[in-house]
Structure 1
Amino acid sequence: MVFQKIPVKRIPAARKCAMALQAISRQQTITEIARNFHCSRTTVHAQKNRALEAAANEFKDAIDDETLFTVPVTRSFIHQMVVGLFCICNSSYRGIMSFLKSIFDHPIALGSVFNILDAAANKAAVLNEAYALSPIRCSAADEVFHRNQPILSVVDIESRFCALLARAEDRDHETWGIHLLDLQARGYAPDTSIVDSAKGLIKGHANILPETTLRHDHFHFIRDLKDCARYLKNQVASRTTATLKLVRRAEKQRDAQKKEAQSAGASIALTGLVVLEETYATFQLLAQWLQHDVLQLAGYAPQVRAMLYDFIVAEMSIIAGRHPHRIDAIVTSLHYRRDALLDVADALNDQFAQLATQYGISIHTVWHVCHTTRYGIDHCAYHDQSSALESLIGEKADEIEDAVLAILKKTHRCSSMVENLHSRLRPYLSERKTVSHKTLGVLQFYLKHKPFMRSRHERLKNKTAAQAMTGKPHLPWLEILGFAGFKQPAA
């Protein structure tokens, strides 16, 4: 029986799709499919190829030349690009010129780049000085150097807000005093300021902020301890290699007289190695005691810390006699900075005394609670000591422990936050580049308005330092400088 063939234009789309799927499945021949759908075999092949092409296009990778969105390139956009490249990408002036020429085919003069950044610096200076600094309760101050000239910096520890970033000719107490007076005029009066052993820094704070408690930094001293321990460890490794070479050389020597002389030398080297190993092991142990039992906040009462401190200093003095290099400087620093390093324990003692009075317990018990908090909650020692404290204190044990933890959390002993600021600043402090006061002003503005991409603290995640200090949201930093922010059109 002969069927009349239907023209392809008259076949519905659903039947075309079914025809293509049957042809692709290959369960029937093309002739049978054409007969079933009353069309020619050419039509079946065409619909099959059309379906395969559609599937291939659907799974094809995105075309690189596809237009995602368009950007209106105005003069303001170019200025915004210049400031963004300088701050975000740390681009040089000529790097910015090359970028605009290469990507946008827009040549720009070196002087224009300077003028754009200078105008942004003027705006940033006004905005930096507009912040009231009264919310800062605990700060850290330090200096970083560029081309042997100091850059003075002050950071709020809680929010990481940079209150001061200024280039200076000197770092004596008068220079610090001038800058602290400027900060004081904007409400800067912290309860505590953490400083290192720089005399100008300490005297400047003492003169201008007499009511602010100066707490001496532990960060730099702990770093010096670790550096010295690492040096001794490397010395042990190098001496071990050298001693093994002497021993092997003596073993291989066939001449009896030379072998005896080399064996004596190897024996002397081995004795020196044993002494050096003992020195390293002793110093490493004393350094760990000092860091974890004396300087750590969660620990012993001030009297016990002072006793341990004096014992550690005495023992280090002994090993400094055997190996004075580096260790002698550590011992001198320990003698000189004894009260400064232990003053944080006295500050904790004052707060624990108030806590003891509030709950009607002895301050010794509060310090016992403090010592217990140094262990993890899964540690056996924590459960043993906390059980003993619960039987001694009663139902208020957990409440007292929470109060102790709150005191430890708000008591700071390291200037690591200002060192964190310096680590973010150092990529801009190339020795080949001149860093002016205005440049530092732009960088200060950028760093305190740049959101933290990650943080251990929930209060800082996806927030800027300015938001964390003021508690108020603000526009993106480029929009604060007066540039129009670009937003992609809604899809």
Structure 2
Amino acid sequence: MRDLLGVSVSVGSVHEVPQWAAQQAGAINREQDLSGSRVSLHDEIFQGARPVLAGVDAQSTDCYLLTAEKHRDGDTWGMHLLDASRQGLAPDYTIADAGQGLRAGQKAAWGDTPCHSDVFHIQRQCEALPNTLGNLARGDRTRRQKLEARIGRARARCRARRFAAALGQARQADAPAHELTRDIRTLTQWFSHDILALAGPVFATRQILFDFVVDELLGREHQDARRIRPVRVALQNQRDDLLAFAGVLDEKLAAIAQAANVPDDLVRAACVLHRKPTTSPAY
């Protein structure tokens, strides 16, 4: 301040200015009426090692909670949600990830208020699985090709027998690894495109498709349990929460159909149409 602006000010004064502003902002925040929020979004942001608890109104994107804490357990979340309740916050449901502390805090503060799962985190987990398996499969193929090249060079010197057993093992691992990767990638793409897409089938159909994907993953789990099992278990444990959005969507489409006096199927067909590019022949 002195060297650049020619203003003499103490460090204490610099410190007091934002502290005073924060106190004024805090007083304004605590006076806000949150009763109009019908859907709340909760998550944890990490500023270094410390979690920042965040709460946002889905419709207005108003951020009513943003606080750095030492912990992200149920007690910490519950305390902040109770504070928000005193300002009138009582959403119909919330949307969050599968964080145990977050969900425990909501349960303690708001009882039976539903907490729907966001689909972002599970989609990231599902996308990562075939990518990892694909990298491993390509590694197996590279090792097989290198062994074949070494055998080709050794055959000219009559020393190929020493590599035969290793090549046999490499060939046995190569094809199944690529087949597993292809199957898992197909299943995760179906999961994202046909089950979790906003424009899609009715809730009951999504449940059937969801269970099908889980069963298919279970049938392949023995091939790489360390990587497939966590994804399969996560899907199995979160099915109803992950598909909760489909129930909300069904109700909204049914209301549109009733208001327009048209069949439900027609409204859903118009919704699904938006998955196609407007310039495509199918559209």
TM-score by length of 2: 0.87
Match of 1:243 among 144, 152, 171: 144
Residues 42 and 55 of structure 2 are in contact (CA less than 8 Å); yes or no, is this contact kept in structure 1? yes
Match of 1:140 among 23, 31, 41: 41
Correspondence 1:113 to 2:9: no
Match of 2:282 among 381, 398, 416: 381
Residues 302 and 349 of structure 1 are in contact (CA less than 8 Å); yes or no, is this contact kept in structure 2? yes
Residues 191 and 211 of structure 1 are in contact (CA less than 8 Å); yes or no, is this contact kept in structure 2? no
Which residue is equivalent to 2:251? Answer: 350
- With over 3 angstroms needed to count, the CA separation of the structure-2 counterparts of 1:107 and 1:248, relative to structure 1, is farther
- With over 3 angstroms needed to count, the CA separation of the structure-2 counterparts of 1:354 and 1:161, relative to structure 1, is closer
Match of 2:182, SS state, is helix
- With over 3 angstroms needed to count, the CA separation of the structure-2 counterparts of 1:281 and 1:150, relative to structure 1, is same
Which residue is equivalent to 2:165? Answer: 264
In structure 1, how many angstroms separate the alpha carbons of the residues matched to 2:3 and 2:226? 55
Which residues of 2 match residues 74-153 of structure 1 at below 5 A? Answer: 100=1, 103-104=4-5, 110-146=11-47, 148-153=49-54
Tell me how far 1:107 sits from its aligned partner: 6.7
Correspondence 1:315 to 2:216: yes
Per mean C-alpha deviation after superposition, the further-off stretch among 287-296 and 364-373 is: 364-373
- With over 3 angstroms needed to count, the CA separation of the structure-2 counterparts of 1:103 and 1:340, relative to structure 1, is same
Tell me how far 1:106 sits from its aligned partner: 5.3
Match of 1:301 among 180, 189, 202: 202
Q: Percent identity?
A: 30
Question: Which is richer in strand?
Answer: 2
Correspondence 1:190 to 2:91: yes
Correspondence 1:166 to 2:67: yes
Tell me how far 1:211 sits from its aligned partner: 7.1
Match of 1:311, SS state, is helix
Aligned AA (2:31) = A
Tell me how far 1:244 sits from its aligned partner: 2.2
Residues 300 and 368 of structure 1 are in contact (CA less than 8 Å); yes or no, is this contact kept in structure 2? no
Which residue is equivalent to 1:231? Answer: 132
Aligned AA (2:19) = D
**1:203-242 deviation line (CA, Å, top 9, x unaligned):** 3323433574422111110111122222223223333333
Tell me how large the CA RMSD over aligned residues is.
2.5
Correspondence 1:278 to 2:179: yes
In structure 1, how many angstroms separate the alpha carbons of the residues matched to 2:85 and 2:39? 14
Tell me how far 1:336 sits from its aligned partner: 0.9
In structure 1, how many angstroms separate the alpha carbons of the residues matched to 2:65 and 2:179? 46
In structure 2, how many angstroms separate the alpha carbons of the residues matched to 1:287 and 1:351? 27
In structure 1, how many angstroms separate the alpha carbons of the residues matched to 2:152 and 2:29? 72
Which residue is equivalent to 1:42? Answer: none
**1:62-111 deviation line (CA, Å, top 9, x unaligned):** xxxxxxxxxxxxxxxxxxxxxxxxxxxxxxxxxxxxxx455335576544
Which residue is equivalent to 1:326? Answer: 227
In structure 1, how many angstroms separate the alpha carbons of the residues matched to 2:94 and 2:142? 47
Gaps of 5+ in 1: 1-99, 383-491
Match of 2:267 among 366, 374, 378: 366
Tell me how far 1:379 sits from its aligned partner: 2.2
Residues 39 and 93 of structure 2 are in contact (CA less than 8 Å); yes or no, is this contact kept in structure 1? yes
In structure 2, how many angstroms separate the alpha carbons of the residues matched to 1:228 and 1:168? 32
TM-score by length of 1: 0.53
Aligned residues: 282
In structure 1, how many angstroms separate the alpha carbons of the residues matched to 2:160 and 2:144? 15
In structure 1, how many angstroms separate the alpha carbons of the residues matched to 2:15 and 2:201? 57
Aligned AA (1:177) = G
Which residues of 2 match residues 63-74 of structure 1 at below 5 A? Answer: none
Match of 2:32, SS state, is coil
Residues 193 and 213 of structure 1 are in contact (CA less than 8 Å); yes or no, is this contact kept in structure 2? yes
In structure 1, how many angstroms separate the alpha carbons of the residues matched to 2:13 and 2:195? 57
Which residue is equivalent to 1:287? Answer: 188
**1:279-318 deviation line (CA, Å, top 9, x unaligned):** 1111111111000100111011222212211111111112
**1:168-204 deviation line (CA, Å, top 9, x unaligned):** 3433333222211211222322333101112332233
